[in-house]
Chain A
Amino acid sequence: MQYFDNYLQSKGGYDYTNAKRNELMKAQGFKEMPFTKTGTTIVGVLFDGGVVMAADTRATAGSIVADKNCEKLHTLAPNIWAAGAGTAADLHHQCAHFNAKLKLQRLNLNRQSRVNEVITKLTSKLFPYRGQIGVALIIGGVDCNGPQLASVSPHGNYVYHPFQSMGSGSLAALGILEAKFQDGLTKQQAIDLAIEAIEAGIFHDMGSGSNVDVVAITKEGVDYRRNIRQYNAKSHQKQIPYPFPINNTPALRKYEFNFEKQELTEVGQEMEIIE
């Protein structure tokens, strides 16, 4: 593999061969595969003694809802949680990867994980991929330096701020946060504010919807409330149940599999589709 190392060294360490391949494929007419994005509204609020993070629960694939009740709050360490917006697969795998990495470090060093460790590790990984790994995270936790809240963007930029919002509904949530945030909130006030901000995202952004999940982290521990609010029940219950009697669906072809002879044979005649 020495030629590869030499090659990478001369290029400055960034390998664009896949990008070239993608351009060629696009020119030949291949359409880019749509990734399942989470749409999403996520927020984080710092309060006196801890941090609260909240998220909606809708995952979209284009304009279709792929998952009506997915979990967007991920554990990175017992004292550090992440709320994720962006490509669903990337979020799941990256969070699981860093969870494992931090656990290994904790086992080796026998020390609690710190929020700034997580930020450094994450951004070091994301930056070389130039935003191709679509994870936009809000990281919050309580460690030896106190409660901290930061957001990480897919390109590897990070920001520490007492309140954050990310995702397609971030602007709706940010309006609420900017209007109502104050320093020195209590835990319950912070939870209420976070829920209100997510509510704004759920009702005013169509990429976000369904329910609200909340996690509150303090020095004492973690308080995770899955589906703390559920607003949008299905609007109509059908009065007369759909009639689906047994044996009412026509079989076009019937096969019989004989286990002893290990044979598949067709039974009867092929039927036409009934319209």
Chain B
Amino acid sequence: MYIPMNEMLKHFKQDVPTMANITHKSEQWSPYHDNSGTVLAVGIPGAVIVAGDTRLSNGYNIMSRDATKLSQLTDKCVLATAGQYADFIALRKFLQQRLQLYEFQNEVQASTETVAHLLSRELYSRRFFPYYTFNLLAGLDENNHGFVYGYDAIGSYDKMTYGVQGSGQELVVAVLDNQLKGYNKINKTIPQTREEILDIILDCFSCAAERDIHTGDNVEILIITSAGTERLIKPLRKD
């Protein structure tokens, strides 16, 4: 079928994107940067195990292979954060100072539940310009049972037995659901000992490092018990 030229042109003339009328929207400056990485924490009776990789990224570049995502706030609890590193440092500073003040005023360190609540309020205080942090607060409760509090960026939190945050979250959380909670199993054989759980955690990190470009270098593990804190560092893929 023959369509006359002027008919065709009527449909396309003004709308054809030529060099003259494609306007490039300049990318607006964003105050947020995702420094990525993965953190996870598991609580068992008597201990809590917190792990985080030590890679700090910026886009496709590695800023540091040796940057900790874990911060011990009291003898009993540790903050693990994925997201923007600058916001992690600012949040950590606030919590450390505020908890020091608590200890001076009350002559006893804050309990994990108290720290959890404090963190939530601090995050919500920045409701309209949030900390770009995805936190896990892991610690021992009053009965020395390990628990993990998981947070979103503005302070909503929940007490859980294990949690994962960060760029490798989707890769790892399904494995932990199956292994630590027995999802999709009829006879649930849940590992109880510290060695079995460490084995699973290390495997989760090595698998996350295989498939997530932002996770790698080393994994730093803190094991908190009533007797004290133990620190392990294991290597991961460096590419």
What does DSSP make chain A's interface, helix, strand, loop or mixed? loop
Most buried by B among A63, A235, A239, A247: A235
List 13 other contacts, CB 8 Å, given A16-B17, A236-B206: A2-B2, A23-B17, A68-B210, A205-B60, A207-B213, A210-B239, A235-B236, A236-B205, A238-B200, A240-B199, A243-B189, A250-B184, A275-B181
Interchain CB contact under 8 A, B209 and A235: yes
CB of A257 within 8 Å of the partner chain: no
Interchain CB contact under 8 A, A7 and B5: yes
Contacts of A65 in B (CB 8 A): 210-213
Closest chain-B Cβ to A156's Cβ sits at a distance in Å of: 16
Give 1 or 0 for each of A225-259: 1 = CB within 8 Å of chain B CB: 00000011011101110110101111000000000
Closest chain-B Cβ to A273's Cβ sits at a distance in Å of: 8
Q: How large is the interface on B (under 10, 10 to 19, 20 to 34, 35 or more residues)?
A: 35 or more
Nearest-CB residue, chain A, relative to B218: A235
Q: How far is the CA of A202 from the CA of B216 in the complex (A)?
A: 13
Closest chain-B Cβ to A183's Cβ sits at a distance in Å of: 31
Q: How far is the CA of A20 from the CA of B237 in the complex (A)?
A: 44
Nearest-CB residue, chain A, relative to B236: A235
Contacts of B60 in A (CB 8 A): 39, 168, 205-207
Contacts of A210 in B (CB 8 A): 239
* Cross-interface CB contact of B239 among A6, A20, A202, A275, cutoff 8 Å: A202
Contacts of B213 in A (CB 8 A): 39, 60, 63-65, 206-207, 209
Contacts of A3 in B (CB 8 A): 1-5, 8
CB of B61 within 8 Å of the partner chain: yes
Contacts of A10 in B (CB 8 A): 5, 9
Closest chain-B Cβ to A178's Cβ sits at a distance in Å of: 19
Contacts of B2 in A (CB 8 A): 2-3
Interchain CB contact under 8 A, A20 and B62: no
CB of A125 within 8 Å of the partner chain: no
CB of A98 within 8 Å of the partner chain: no
| Given contacts A249-B185, A275-B181, A235 and B61 within 8 Å (CB-CB) | no
Give 1 or 0 for each of B202-228: 1 = CB within 8 Å of chain A CB: 110110011111100000000000000
Interchain CB contact under 8 A, A206 and B184: no
Interchain CB contact under 8 A, A64 and B239: no
CB of B230 within 8 Å of the partner chain: no
Q: How far is the CA of A68 from the CA of B234 in the complex (A)?
A: 22
CB of A203 within 8 Å of the partner chain: yes
Q: How far is the CA of A207 from the CA of B236 in the complex (A)?
A: 17
| Given contacts A63-B167, A206-B62, A232 and B237 within 8 Å (CB-CB) | yes
Interchain CB contact under 8 A, A245 and B202: no
Interchain CB contact under 8 A, A231 and B203: no
| Given contacts A20-B15, A65-B211, A245-B187, A239 and B3 within 8 Å (CB-CB) | no
